[in-house]
Amino acid sequence: MTIRMAQESDIPELAQLYQETVLAIAPHYYSDEQTHSWASFAADGVRFREFILSGTTFVATDETGILGFAGIADDGHITSAYVRRDRIHQGIGSTLMQTLLDYAKNHRIERLYAEASEFSLGLFKKYGFHVYDTEIVERQGVEFKRYLVERGVIKKD
C-alpha cells in the first residue's frame, strides 16, 4: 500500500469510492433516507471536488486502485476518512489516520477535530479522540446525528 496526495484526476474514483462505501455501510447505522441523502453528495461534482482539494487529502492505493482517503484542513479539521467498502477492517483507515496525525505534528497543528459518523467514531476513538458534543445537521431535508470529536497533537521536537 502506498500513501500519496490526492490529485484532480482522482476525483471520479474518490467519488465512486465515497458513494459505494456509504451505500454499503451506512444502512447498518442509518435509515434508507439518511443513507441515500449522504451518498448523493458524491454526485455534486463541484462540491465534491472542493471537499477533496480544499485541504490536504491523502489517498491510499495498491495494485487494485484507490483503497481509501482522508483529508485535513490547515486548522486541524479532519474533513474526511473513507475506506473502500471491500477493504474495511484491513488497517487502511488506521494507516490514513496515522498519516493525518503525522501531518498535524509536522505542521505544528495543535488540535485536531472532526464530525464523526456512527461508523467512523470507533476509528477516531482508537486514535485518542474524545467526544465533546453531538450535533444534528440537515442534508437535503434529512437530519443526521454527528459526534464532535477532538484531540491534541504531540508537539514536534
Radius of gyration, CA atoms only, the chain:
15
Domain 2-152 indexed as CATH 3.40.630.30: yes
Residue 100: predicted pLDDT = 97
Residue 116 in contact with residue 93, Cβ under 8 Å?
no
Residue 73 in contact with residue 55, Cβ under 8 Å?
yes
Q: Which amino acid, residue 81?
A: A
List the domain boundaries for the chain: 2-152
Q: How far is CA 151 from the centre of its chain?
A: 16
Residue 155: predicted pLDDT = 63
Return the ∠ at Cα 58 (arms to 52 and 62), rounded to 5°. Answer: 115
Residue 139: predicted pLDDT = 85
Q: Using the structure block, give the residue that is written with the C-alpha cell 459505494.
A: 20
pLDDT in 10s for each residue of the chain, 157 residues: 999 999 999 999 999 999 999 999 999 999 999 999 999 999 999 999 999 999 999 999 999 999 999 999 999 999 999 999 999 999 999 999 999 999 999 999 999 999 999 989 999 999 999 999 999 999 888 999 999 999 987 665 5
Residue 154: predicted pLDDT = 65
